[in-house]
Amino acid sequence: MSGLLDINFFALSGQLLVGLINGSFYALLSLGLAIIFGLLRIINFAQGALYMVGAFAALLGLKYLSLSYWQALIFVPIMVGIFGMLIQVFLIRPIANQDHLYSLLLTFGLALMLQGIFTHLFGSSGLSYPTPEALKGGTRLPFMYLPNYRAWIIAVSVVVCGLTWWAIEKTKLGAYLRAGTENPQLLQAFGVNVPLIITLTFGFGVALAGLAGVLAAPVYSVSPDMGSNILIVVFAIVVIGGMGSIGGAIITGLAMGVIEGLTKYFYPQASSTVIFVVMVIVLMIKPSGLFGKEA
Amino acid sequence: MTLKKQILTAAIAGTLASAAMATTDGKVKIGVLADMSGTYADICGPGCVVATQMAIDDFGGKVLNKPIELISADSQLKPDIASAIARRWVESEDVDTIGGLVSSAVTGAVTQVTNNSKNIALITGSASNGFTTKACSPYIAHWTYNVVALANGTVKTMVGEGKKKWFFITADYAFGHALETVSSNVIKANGGEVVGSVRAPLGTTDFSSYVLQAQASGADVVALANAGNDTVNALNAATEFGLTESMDIAGLLVFSQNTKAMDGNVAGGMKLTTGFYWDLNDETRAWSKRFKEKHGEIPSMAHAGAYSATMHYLNAVQKAGTDDADVVMKQMKTTKPNDFFAVNAEFRGDGRMVHDMLLVQIKKPAERKDEDDIYKVLKVIPGNEAYNPMLDECNFSR
Amino acid sequence: MINRKLLIALLAIGLLAPLAVYPVFLAKLLCFALFAAAFNLLLGFVGILSFGHAAFLGTGGYVTGWLMLNSGLTPELAIIAGTLAGALLGAVYGKLAVKREGIYFAMVTLALAQLTFFIYLQAPFTGGEDGMQGIPRRALFGLIDLSNNTVMYYLVLAIFCFGFWLINRTIHSPFGQVLKAIRENEPRAISLGYDVEKYKWLAFVISAALAALAGGTKSLVFELASLTDVHWHMSGEVILMTLVGGVGTLFGPLAGAALVVTMQNYLSGGELGNYLHIIMGAVFVICVLSFRSGIVGQLQKFKRNNF
């Protein structure tokens, strides 16, 4: 009898841990989205595609430039961030004064283009990226075998999310940023280059997606549609957390990953719908999201 | 315009428009509908087009004194896209026969079209046994293999070796379901037990939660009732989470390309069933060398099957003197297929091509002479042992 | 309001087209045109963006398909049933969605559509990844055999004309005037005493019903209903068609659907299949940046400015 219970506990903990790992990706990606929407009022539907670009950049960097995983962790987000800044300056800034929905449609189109280009170049089945040597192997926990690389993912996500939250909420730079989005003219009057800050912020939000891409490469195959599959979930998370809330996105991302894991154990068929059910419920009860401020 | 007028107009137009059913125009046009860039692209994608073209070329490029035409398209593994392409091909582009056909969902949708329009479907990539049972038709030629042969090979052998408790990770569509059902029956019939199963969508890349469930089940063997990259990814996840240390993994459908993509140290020792191995004998080696020169990679059983099926079809057209599907099918079923692929073969009344299958074992890297030396052939399984018996109601040769 | 001559010209083309063009392609085009027109009712005339319209297209397709496969119903009854199912779903989803505005409305519709997608993915009756295959067309009213593609096409043409007429009547009715008022200045409409939420909800239901009508018809044309119809890419595609064709114009969705379906026809299935997404994406971007009024919108502007 206790043997049966043991297995159940082990299986449950295993799923929760996997859920936490998935939640780390959700948190990183929704953080980027939340920054871009919360602070810049831009709806970046291309976040998923840029995550995919990050993963491909790591893969191609390894193949053609002998870029190691560790180098990719640093350079790929920067590269993706720069790419994002170019997009913001040339495509998004011109429509900045229009209805938010236009930025949604524009970035949607962008995402389609990026996905199409990579599918054309690389086919739609996944390519594999090797786990870095230093992170191979794992630890045998009582309830499951935890691969080192997966633990690494959780660690990186928590650290990056934490630092970002601190930077935005607690530092002077963050204060400028928040001021710049609430009242750009006033801040500009103080001599702060507001357009530059906006561009840099967009670049940072996108760089987070690129980072998530590099982290994902060894565990999810690198394929052109990896972004579109995860994007809808991430959008739901940002809405649940509250579209203006940075902290909300992080916490909700991790929480949703765990909830998904729980569902996989108790009622697997619902595991893909549970996030959307939660979103609908939250929107009905607290429309601005769990941690959001009314727009 | 009133409805009545519209109906009248429609009736007139209807008589003017061609009621395009299968055209017997004396010219043979083959359409290869395969997965050109997705999960199954290496198994039956551009390679199936190459193999079919090889058959056409070896046949002489002409039949019934007219050149043989070959066109191809990407099903993108979507039934609706494949169905639309197939429909357009047979209704407005004079395609006689559709080949390639991988992914049982796609093949199901396409055969709905070809059965109605009386065109032959040469199924070389798909595995579901439904095409010669529930969904049998006089216009279906199921050539290369099916799930029954796979189960009777791999599963039966392993249960016989004492692996009694099984857990399935199944691709969640027609093929996966069929493979799991048939395999479960074989397991139970041989004294084994299915302790659990889980369904993963086609194209899943991260199998970690499924692997965890398998680990919790206490099975002896985790059977992967999927194919292509799904199998490779599942095996990777199993390795990553240490499952391979305590349980066996049985890849129920593994093609040579997938074997090459797997880590030999982990996959080595795995037994699987296949319809073809390039290094089996002189004949297979000769053909495979030619194929590799054109395609750049050793052939999978689907490629070899595509060549064999096309050849047999063209021979039948020649003998029958027409491209009419009924007549050609009858001719195909009268002659026994005989080439490097179809060994001890018979093309049955239900459209099933029965031939010898091979039980092979994946070689560990240390045992391999070169990167293509992947299998050790353990035994030959005669066709009538491997395949399901013909159902009376599907016997179209009576 | 509608140019009589243009209408007659289009109708004539519609009636004669199957003599020259593959009827199934034409039928597909009209189904998508109806879908886009239904969507445009919300975006163009009420001013709200639904990012989950695929849910209704798919529901129409699955319900109609299931009825044709599992009962002896004649096609027109099955299509009507599919339409009603879409209307019902629209009523429920609409109630939830219209409480929110702008981007939140779009997100709610997206979430609800995803919910629908995953339910259909799991539900055995849809066939999941395999799709609902082999849907029979049978005979319209029990009399007219639909297995001939040209006959089927004329039925689709009739259905499209009906849907188009309904949208036109709705827009030009007092109800439609209120919708336009809501689009132009919602607070003022509220201050005038209109129950704005109820108007939006009604428009949503009509839009959902017509989308389901398109879906049910389409499943008979192709004798197949699949997950592609409920996937969020499909929701994106209908936005594209409307955007390209001209938001808020009557013929815009038709033009947009014609363009997109034709592009798909030529590019998909071949080597160039992936160019399709690249081109579609590029068109989206260009449309938003410059061409926001779409093909028909630009033509109208051109006409107004020059004639």
pLDDT digits 0-9 by tens, A276-287: 889 888 877 887
Ordered alpha helix ranges (H), C123-251: 149-171, 174-184, 186-191, 196-222, 232-245
* Domains in chain C, number: 1
In chain A, residues with a C-beta closer than 8 Å to the C-beta of B232 are: 128
Residue B7 has pLDDT above 60, yes or no: no
Give me the phi and psi of A219, to 5 degrees please: -105, -35
Confidence of residue C293 (pLDDT cuts 50, 70, 90): low
Average pLDDT, whole number, for chain A?
Answer: 86
Considering only residues A288 and B360, tell me which one the structure prediction assigns the higher pLDDT. Answer: B360
Considering only residues A40 and B373, tell me which one the structure prediction assigns the higher pLDDT. Answer: B373
Residue B9 has pLDDT above 70, yes or no: no
Confidence of residue B144 (pLDDT cuts 50, 70, 90): very high
Considering only residues B80 and C269, tell me which one the structure prediction assigns the higher pLDDT. Answer: B80
| Residue A146 falls in which region: left (phi positive, over 0), alpha (psi -120 to 50) or beta | beta
CB within 8 Å: B37 and C19: no
Q: Is C140 helix (H, G, I), strand (E, B) or coil?
A: strand
In chain B, residues with a C-beta closer than 8 Å to the C-beta of A51 are: none
Neighbours of chain C (3+ CB pairs under 8 A): A, B
Instruction: Give pLDDT, residue B310.
Output: 96
Residue reference for tokens 């929704």: A30
Mutual orientation of helices B46-59 and B301-320 as an angle, nearest 10°? 40
Tens-place pLDDT, residues A87-141: 999 998 888 877 777 888 899 999 999 998 998 888 877 788 888 888 888 888 8
Residue C289 lies in a domain: no
Instruction: Give pLDDT, residue A2.
Output: 40
Residue C288 lies in a domain: no
Of C112, C121, C284, the CB nearest to A105: C284
Beta bridge partners of B302: none
Domains, chain B, in order of start with CATH, read 3-145+281-355 (3.40.50.2300), 148-274+358-386 (3.40.50.2300)
Looking at chain C, the whole-number percentage of residues with pLDDT higher than 70 is: 95
CB within 8 Å: B215 and A140: no
Residue C304 has pLDDT above 80, yes or no: no
CB within 8 Å: A106 and C112: no
Of B38, B205, B242, the CB nearest to A221: B205
- Record the tokens describing residue A9, joined without a space: 């506990």
Q: Is C203 helix (H, G, I), strand (E, B) or coil?
A: helix
Confidence of residue C307 (pLDDT cuts 50, 70, 90): low
Q: Is B202 on the interface with C (CB under 8 A)?
A: yes
Tens-place pLDDT, residues B278-295: 999 999 999 999 999 999
Ranked by mean pLDDT, the top range of A50-54, A131-135, B74-78 is A50-54
Confidence of residue C78 (pLDDT cuts 50, 70, 90): very high
CB within 8 Å: C118 and A277: no
Q: Is C133 on the interface with B (CB under 8 A)?
A: yes
Q: Distance between CA C122 and CA C118 in Å, rounded? A: 6
Residue B10 has pLDDT above 50, yes or no: no
Q: Distance between CA A232 and CA B370 in Å, rounded? A: 45
Considering only residues C283 and B113, tell me which one the structure prediction assigns the higher pLDDT. Answer: B113
Of C110, C121, C122, the CB nearest to A232: C110
Q: Distance between CA B247 and CA A145 in Å, rounded? A: 14
CA dihedral over C221, C222, C225, C227, signed as positive or negative? negative
Q: Distance between CA C136 and CA C133 in Å, rounded? A: 9
CB contacts < 8 A, A to C, total 118
Give me the phi and psi of B194, to 5 degrees please: -95, 110
Of A120, A273, A276, the CB nearest to C278: A120
Name every residue whose Cβ is closer than 8 Å to that of residue B50 and which is 6 or more positions away in sequence. B291, B294, B295, B303
Give me the phi and psi of A37, to 5 degrees please: -85, -45
CB within 8 Å: A110 and C108: no
Listed by start position, the domains of chain A span 22-125+146-224
Considering only residues C122 and B355, tell me which one the structure prediction assigns the higher pLDDT. Answer: B355
Neighbours of chain A (3+ CB pairs under 8 A): B, C
Q: Distance between CA C210 and CA C84 in Å, rounded? A: 9
Instruction: Give pLDDT, residue B99.
Output: 95
Residue A154's alpha-carbon distances to A55, A56, A126, in angstroms, are 17, 21, 23
Tallying the residues shown for chain C, one arrives at 307
Residue reference for tokens 């815009």: C252
Looking at chain A, the whole-number percentage of residues with pLDDT higher than 90 is: 38
Tens-place pLDDT, residues B191-227: 999 999 998 888 788 898 899 889 888 899 999 999 9
Q: Which one-letter DSSP state was computed for residue C223?
A: T
Q: Distance between CA A164 and CA A172 in Å, rounded? A: 13
Tens-place pLDDT, residues B13-40: 443 433 334 456 778 999 999 988 788 8
Instruction: Give pLDDT, residue C286.
Output: 87
* Minimum distance, in Å, between the CA of residue B95 and any CA atom of chain A: 27
Residue C91's alpha-carbon distances to A287, C47, C205, in angstroms, are 20, 18, 5
Instruction: Give pLDDT, residue B16.
Output: 40
Considering only residues C121 and A269, tell me which one the structure prediction assigns the higher pLDDT. Answer: C121
Residue C207's alpha-carbon distances to A4, A14, C52, C203, in angstroms, are 53, 45, 12, 6
- What mean pLDDT is predicted for residues C29-35? 96
Name every residue whose Cβ is closer than 8 Å to that of residue A151 and which is 6 or more positions away in sequence. A138, A139
Q: Is C42 on the interface with A (CB under 8 A)?
A: no
Residue C75 domain boundaries = 22-230
CB within 8 Å: C224 and B78: no
Instruction: Give pLDDT, residue B25.
Output: 76
Looking at chain B, the whole-number percentage of residues with pLDDT higher than 90 is: 71
Average pLDDT, whole number, for chain C?
Answer: 89
* Minimum distance, in Å, between the CA of residue A280 and any CA atom of chain C: 7
Residue C287 lies in a domain: no
Residue A61 has pLDDT above 50, yes or no: yes
Q: Which one-letter DSSP state was computed for residue C145?
A: E
Residue C237 lies in a domain: no
Residue reference for tokens 């309904």: C166
Confidence of residue C76 (pLDDT cuts 50, 70, 90): very high
Of B37, B91, B109, the CB nearest to C131: B109
Residue A227 has pLDDT above 60, yes or no: yes
In chain C, residues with a C-beta closer than 8 Å to the C-beta of A116 are: 274-281
**How would you write chain B as a 3-class SS string?**
CCHHHHHHHHHHHHHHCCCCCCCCCCCCEEEEEECCCCCCCCCCCHHHHHHHHHHHHHHCCEECCEECEEEEEECCCCHHHHHHHHHHHHHHCCCCEEEECCCHHHHHHHHHHHHHHCCEEEECCCCCHHHHCCCCCCCEEECCCCHHHHHHHHHHHHHHCCCCEEEEEEECCHHHHHHHHHHHHHHHHCCCEEEEEEEECCCCCCCHHHHHHHHCCCCCEEEEECCCHHHHHHHHHHHHCCHHHCCEEEECCCCHHHHHHCCHHHHCCCEEEECCCCCCCHHHHHHHHHHHHHHCCCCCHHHHHHHHHHHHHHHHHHHHCCCCHHHHHHHHHHCCCCCCCCCCCEECCCCEEECCEEEEEECCHHHCCCCCCCEEEEEEECHHHHCCCCCHHHCCCC
* Minimum distance, in Å, between the CA of residue B3 and any CA atom of chain C: 8
* Minimum distance, in Å, between the CA of residue A107 and any CA atom of chain B: 25
CB within 8 Å: A147 and B241: yes
Q: What is the chain A residue with the closest CA to C287?
A: A106
Instruction: Kindly report which listed range (B21-30, B162-171, C154-163, C254-263) carries the lowest average pLDDT score.
Output: B21-30
Residue C1 lies in a domain: no
Instruction: Provide the residue type at B16 as one letter.
Output: L
